[in-house]
């Protein structure tokens, strides 16, 4: 469904991605793990069109989106829960969710809202609270909920477990699995928390120095001694 | 044990005044350096016409002592208090915002009744009209600065475009006020888009500098494009407004009916003043209704979201280019309307009315009111227009008083008079999709 083909991304003279190819098929959770600076976030951002790929192609549903503007890519059906959550701090939970519904022009707002509240009952309790007053975990729920309000056909998530209390991390990962199962929504997940992320993944890629250095099913990668040594030992 | 106690108790008593003394000493030193040439030396022409220098070190000493004591008193007063933090409004502003509809209606009732009240002289109505114009300008700029978060230091440019378009269309084509009003709005909005394009990628300080430049460019064009704008001489004899075709004149031209004849009243120059007041009020109300309504529409929410986080907006499918341009265009449009009104009220305009200080005052109204707060703008505009008026007796100290009052307000309420932001959307008050857009506060 999503094909990233030999993509190179540069920040000035620095090559952050040196020819990365990955695919995400319908209904899959795909996890990308890697150390800091391996290019994980850059890959997600490049798929979203900011920054643009310097070379290579990105196709979504057979359509070339390499040169498209970020906001148009979202309207095609690729939603993202961006790094650092980026919720609107002065707006209420409800208003934040409404902003997520922009690509659908609010057509199914109430229905979609009910689904998000079912997934994260906490958000329903906090609906009139301002976004900036939520805890980190609640903000992450809001961030995912907001992305779902766009009725996406694919969800990209950047470090959903970053800076969140361990008990909430579990909840977030359970929610990711639930979203994937119930809606059949393909999810591309970038994570430092490699153990949890690979456990729920159908497939995974290991990124190092801007290149894919390993690929396999979630289980294969979890069992791989090199992956264990580099990303899992002392982790989880 | 006892020594430890004594040690820990000591700083809060005897030596506790040390930092404050040092601070006051520093302030006194600065005062001494400043006061020595300002107060301490005076040149007077001697009998032979040559300047002689006289020293007044007694004055300097008094000043330095006053500064020292004042600074010490302030420091001691503030000691142990937490530093003033920028709060999200207080209980008062939350209360006002929640009951905005009632405060708005009360204010509106007062505004409508004002010309009929016993104390309403021509002067009072004139000042009230000025307040209303600034309220309207504040509401217009609020779209750009308060909602969309784009710092605009050149707002007066749109005010000028509106004023000159009315003056020129009236002078050259004989258009009336009501015909010129939409034209002025349209031209100002176009100017807004023109300004918007080059600044799309800029934020914060950089944006402010470019808008400042834009305001100056418009003013310089008005000064130098002599053939069209009359240059520094401005445009005189701008047609005064008529009451829907009935002029406010004592002796109307042949075949015309004047306002006072129409209603069988004694002729009074006050009629026009009152009519202008209501005209300004009506324009301001239109602005307010528009802003209140649009805040709850997707574009209004997109402005606020853009103010909060532009990257998140892009990630949610919002086109920041269009969002910013509409904010600039609509904000400018209301500036243009206000400009048209200004021209017809004054009957004479020149570039001098559209200097940077006007932009600064309008921006001060928005910031002082609490960015994005509609009622806050009314309060702030009233304060800013009335303060210099009320302090006329202070004469030369008037602007000093004005400045001090603004500084005090910002210390007392760092986020503006009414900083509370009322949500645009609530569930549970009613069911159905209509409740999503219809719910919300008043002006």
Query: Tens digit of pLDDT for each residue in A143-202?
Result: 999 999 999 999 999 999 988 988 889 999 999 999 999 999 999 999 988 999 999 999
Q: Which tokens in the block code for residue A124?
A: 């329903």
Residues B182, B211 within the same domain: yes
pLDDT tens digits, A160-175? 998 898 888 999 999 9
Closest CA to B321 of A150, A71, A49, A76: A71
Residues of B in contact with A153 (CB under 8 A): none
Is A103 at the interface with chain B, CB within 8 A? yes
Burial class (CB in 10 A: 0-12, 13-18, 19+), B132: buried
Residue pointed to by tokens 């002025």: B184
pLDDT at residue number B405: 80
Phi-psi region of B86 (alpha: psi -120 to 50; beta: other; left: phi over 0): beta
Residue A106 and residue B298: Cβ atoms within 8 Å? yes
Is A74 at the interface with chain B, CB within 8 A? yes
Residue B317 has its nearest CB partner, among A74, A94, A113, at A74
Residues B72, B29 within the same domain: yes
The residue that leads in pLDDT, B391 or A39, is A39
pLDDT at residue number B120: 84
pLDDT at residue number B21: 87
Count of residues for chain B?
443
Q: Residue B180 falls within a domain, yes or no?
A: yes
CA distance B202 to B131: 32
Instruction: Show the domains of chain A with their CATH numbers.
Output: 1-77+156-163+190-236 (3.40.50.300)
Cα angle B159, B165, B168; round to 5: 135
β-pairing verdict for A29-34 and A187-191: parallel
Average pLDDT, chain A: 92
Q: Collapse the DSSP code of B345 into the 3-class scheme (helix H, G, I; strand E, B; otherwise coil) and give the result.
A: helix
| Cβ within 8 Å of residue A54, ≥6 positions away | A8, A9, A10
pLDDT at residue number B437: 39
Residue B316 has its nearest CB partner, among A100, A127, A130, at A100
pLDDT tens digits, B328-381? 999 999 999 999 999 999 999 999 999 999 999 999 999 888 888 889 999 999
Q: Which of A13-17, B372-376, B411-415, B439-443 has maximum average pLDDT?
A: A13-17
Residues B115, B242 within the same domain: yes
Helix, strand, coil % (nearest 5) of chain A?
Answer: 40, 25, 30
pLDDT at residue number B407: 82
Residues B141, B59 within the same domain: no
pLDDT tens digits, A70-79? 999 999 999 9
Is A83 at the interface with chain B, CB within 8 A? no
Residue A70 and residue B315: Cβ atoms within 8 Å? yes
CB under 8 A, 24+ apart: contacts of B36-42: B36/B60, B39/B63
Residue window 170-209, chain A: list those with CB within 8 Å of chain B.
none
The whole-model pTM stands at 0.81
Alpha-helical (H) ranges within B197-268 are 204-224, 226-229, 259-262
> In angstroms, what separates the C-alpha of A95 from chain B's closest C-alpha?
6
pLDDT at B439 exceeding the cut of 60: no
> In angstroms, what separates the C-alpha of B353 from chain A's closest C-alpha?
37
- Mean pLDDT of the region A118-124: 94
pLDDT band, residue B15 (cuts 50/70/90): low
Buried b (16+ CB within 10 A) or exposed e, A96-134: bbbbbbbbbebeebeebbebbbebbebbeebbebbbeeb
Is B436 at the interface with chain A, CB within 8 A? yes
Q: Which tokens in the block code for residue B399?
A: 């602007």
pLDDT at residue number A27: 94
Residues B207, B64 within the same domain: no
Is B297 at the interface with chain A, CB within 8 A? no
Average pLDDT, chain B: 84
CA distance A229 to B421: 51
- Mean pLDDT of the region B299-318: 92
**Which residue of chain A comes nearest to B435, CA vs CA?**
A110
In contact, B24 and B72? CB cutoff 8 Å: yes
Q: Residue B84 falls within a domain, yes or no?
A: no
pLDDT at residue number B11: 43
Residues B101, B66 within the same domain: no
Helices first, then strands: H and E counts in chain B? 19, 2
Residues B201, B248 within the same domain: yes
pLDDT at residue number B85: 53
Bridge partner residues of A206 (DSSP) = A33, A214
Which percentage of chain B shows pLDDT scores above 70?
90
pLDDT at A131 exceeding the cut of 90: yes
In contact, B80 and B410? CB cutoff 8 Å: no
In contact, A66 and A57? CB cutoff 8 Å: yes
In contact, A124 and B348? CB cutoff 8 Å: no
Closest CA to A174 of A213, A119, A124, A134: A119
pLDDT tens digits, B131-168? 999 999 999 999 999 999 999 999 999 999 999 999 99
pLDDT at residue number B43: 82
Four-residue CA torsion sign, B418, A135, B319, B198 = positive
Residues B23, B142 within the same domain: no
In contact, B70 and B80? CB cutoff 8 Å: no
Cα radius of gyration rounded to whole Å, chain A: 17
CA distance A51 to A12: 11
* Angle at which helices A136-148 and A109-119 cross, to 10°: 140
**Residue range(s) defining the domain that contains residue B27:** 19-45+53-76
Q: Residue B85 falls within a domain, yes or no?
A: no
HSE at residue B422, side-chain half, CA atoms within 13 A, is 22
CA distance B149 to B304: 7
pLDDT at residue number B1: 42
CA distance B299 to A198: 40
How close are the terminal C-alpha atoms of chain B, in Å? 63
* Angle at which helices B320-346 and B177-196 cross, to 10°: 140
Residues B29, B164 within the same domain: no
Residue B427 and residue A150: Cβ atoms within 8 Å? no
The residue that leads in pLDDT, B416 or B169, is B169
> In angstroms, what separates the C-alpha of A115 from chain B's closest C-alpha?
15
Helix, strand, coil % (nearest 5) of chain B?
Answer: 70, 5, 25
pLDDT at residue number B89: 54
- Mean pLDDT of the region A116-127: 94
Residue B308 has its nearest CB partner, among A69, A90, A100, at A90
CA distance B319 to B308: 15
pLDDT tens digits, B29-87? 998 898 888 888 888 887 777 888 888 888 889 989 999 998 888 888 877 666 555 45
CA distance A70 to B311: 10
**What is the DSSP secondary-structure string of B350-367?**
-GGGGSHHHHHHHHHHHH
pLDDT at B436 exceeding the cut of 70: no
A25 DSSP assignment: -
pLDDT tens digits, B229-275? 988 999 998 988 888 878 888 878 777 888 888 888 888 888 889 99
The residue that leads in pLDDT, B393 or B104, is B104
Please give the tally of structural domains in chain B: 2
Residue B314 and residue A89: Cβ atoms within 8 Å? no
Closest CA to A7 of A43, A33, A51: A43
pLDDT at residue number B13: 44
Q: Residue B385 falls within a domain, yes or no?
A: yes
Q: Residue B275 falls within a domain, yes or no?
A: yes
- Mean pLDDT of the region A32-53: 92
ipTM over 0.85: yes
pLDDT at B423 exceeding the cut of 50: yes
pLDDT at residue number B430: 38
pLDDT at A69 exceeding the cut of 60: yes
pLDDT at residue number B233: 92
The residue that leads in pLDDT, B232 or B395, is B232
Residues B112, B194 within the same domain: yes
CA distance B63 to B410: 26
Residues B38, B161 within the same domain: no
β-pairing verdict for A211-217 and B41-45: unpaired
pLDDT tens digits, B203-220? 778 888 999 999 999 999
Residues B111, B245 within the same domain: yes
pLDDT at residue number A193: 87
Q: Residue B94 CB: number of other CB atoms within 10 A?
A: 16
Closest CA to A157 of A121, A188, A114: A188
Is A36 at the interface with chain B, CB within 8 A? no
pLDDT at residue number B435: 37
pLDDT at residue number B82: 61
Residue window 45-64, chain A: list those with CB within 8 Å of chain B.
48, 50
Q: Residue B247 CB: number of other CB atoms within 10 A?
A: 17
Virtual CA dihedral for B132, B128, B175, B159, nearest 10 degrees? Answer: -40
| Cβ within 8 Å of residue B69, ≥6 positions away | B24
């Amino acid at each position: 469904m999503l094909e990233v083909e030999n993509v190179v991304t540069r920040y000035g003279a620095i090559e952050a991605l040196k020819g990365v190819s990955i695919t995400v098929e319908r209904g899959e959770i795909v996890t990308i793990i890697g150390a800091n600076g391996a290019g994980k976030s850059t890959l997600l951002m490049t798929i979203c069109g900011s920054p643009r790929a310097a070379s290579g192609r990105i196709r979504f549903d057979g359509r070339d989106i390499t040169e498209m503007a970020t906001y148009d890519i979202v309207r095609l059906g690729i939603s993202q829960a961006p790094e650092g959550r980026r919720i609107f701090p002065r707006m209420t939970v409800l208003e934040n969710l409404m902003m997520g519904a922009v690509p659908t022009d609010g057509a199914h707002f109430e229905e979609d809202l009910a689904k998000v509240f079912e997934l994260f009952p906490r958000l329903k309790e906090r609906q009139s609270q301002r976004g900036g007053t939520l805890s980190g975990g609640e903000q992450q729920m809001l961030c995912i909920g907001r992305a779902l309000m766009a009725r996406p056909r694919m969800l990209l998530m950047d470090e959903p477990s970053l800076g969140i209390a361990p008990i909430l991390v579990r909840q977030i990962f359970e929610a990711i699995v639930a979203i994937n199962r119930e809606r059949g929504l393909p999810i591309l997940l970038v994570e430092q928390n490699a153990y949890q992320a690979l456990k729920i993944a159908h497939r995974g890629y290991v990124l190092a120095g801007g290149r894919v250095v390993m690929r396999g099913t979630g289980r294969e990668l979890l069992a791989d001694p090199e992956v264990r040594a580099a990303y899992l030992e002392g982790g989880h | 044990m006892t020594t430890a106690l004594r040690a820990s108790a000591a700083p809060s008593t005897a030596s506790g005044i040390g930092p404050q003394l040092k601070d006051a000493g520093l302030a006194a030193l600065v005062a001494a350096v400043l006061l020595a040439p300002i107060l301490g030396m005076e040149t007077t022409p001697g009998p032979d016409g040559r300047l002689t220098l006289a020293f007044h070190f007694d004055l300097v000493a008094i000043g330095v002592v006053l500064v020292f004591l004042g600074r010490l008193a302030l420091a001691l007063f503030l000691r142990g208090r937490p530093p003033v933090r920028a709060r999200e409004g207080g209980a008062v502003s939350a209360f006002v915002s929640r009951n905005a509809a009632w405060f708005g209606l009360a204010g509106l009732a007062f505004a409508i009744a004002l010309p009929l009240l016993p104390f309403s002289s021509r002067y009072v109505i004139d000042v009230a009209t000025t307040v209303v114009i600034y309220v309207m300008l504040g509401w217009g700029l609020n779209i750009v600065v308060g909602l969309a978060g784009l710092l605009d230091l050149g707002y007066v440019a749109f005010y000028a475009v509106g004023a000159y378009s009315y003056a020129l269309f009236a002078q050259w084509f004989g258009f009336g006020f009501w015909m010129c009003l939409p034209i002025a709005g349209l031209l100002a909005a176009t100017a807004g888009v023109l300004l918007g394009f080059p600044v799309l990628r800029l934020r914060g300080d950089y944006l402010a500098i470019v808008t400042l430049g834009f305001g100056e460019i418009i003013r310089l064009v008005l000064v130098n494009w002599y053939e069209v704008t009359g240059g520094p001489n401005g445009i005189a004899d701008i047609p005064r407004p008529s009451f829907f075709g009935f002029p406010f004149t004592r002796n109307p031209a042949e075949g015309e009916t004047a306002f006072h004849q129409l209603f069988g009243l004694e002729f009074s120059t006050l009629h026009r003043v009152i009519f202008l007041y209501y005209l300004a009020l009506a324009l301001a109300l239109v602005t307010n209704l528009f802003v209140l309504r649009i805040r709850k529409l997707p574009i209004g929410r997109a402005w606020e979201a853009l103010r909060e986080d532009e990257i998140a907006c892009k990630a949610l499918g919002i086109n920041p280019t269009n969002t910013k341009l509409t904010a600039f265009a609509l904000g400018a449009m209301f500036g243009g309307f206000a400009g048209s009104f200004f021209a017809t009220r004054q009957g004479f305009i020149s570039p001098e009315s559209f200097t940077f200080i006007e932009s600064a005052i309008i921006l001060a109204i928005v910031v002082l009111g609490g960015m994005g707060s509609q009622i806050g703008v009314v309060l702030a505009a009233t304060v800013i227009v009335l303060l210099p008026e009320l302090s006329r007796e202070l004469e030369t100290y008037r602007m000093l008083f004005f400045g001090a009052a603004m500084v005090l307000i910002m210390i007392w309420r760092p986020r503006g008079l009414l900083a509370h932001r009322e949500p645009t959307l609530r569930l549970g008050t009613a069911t159905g999709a209509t409740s999503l857009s219809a719910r919300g506060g008043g002006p």
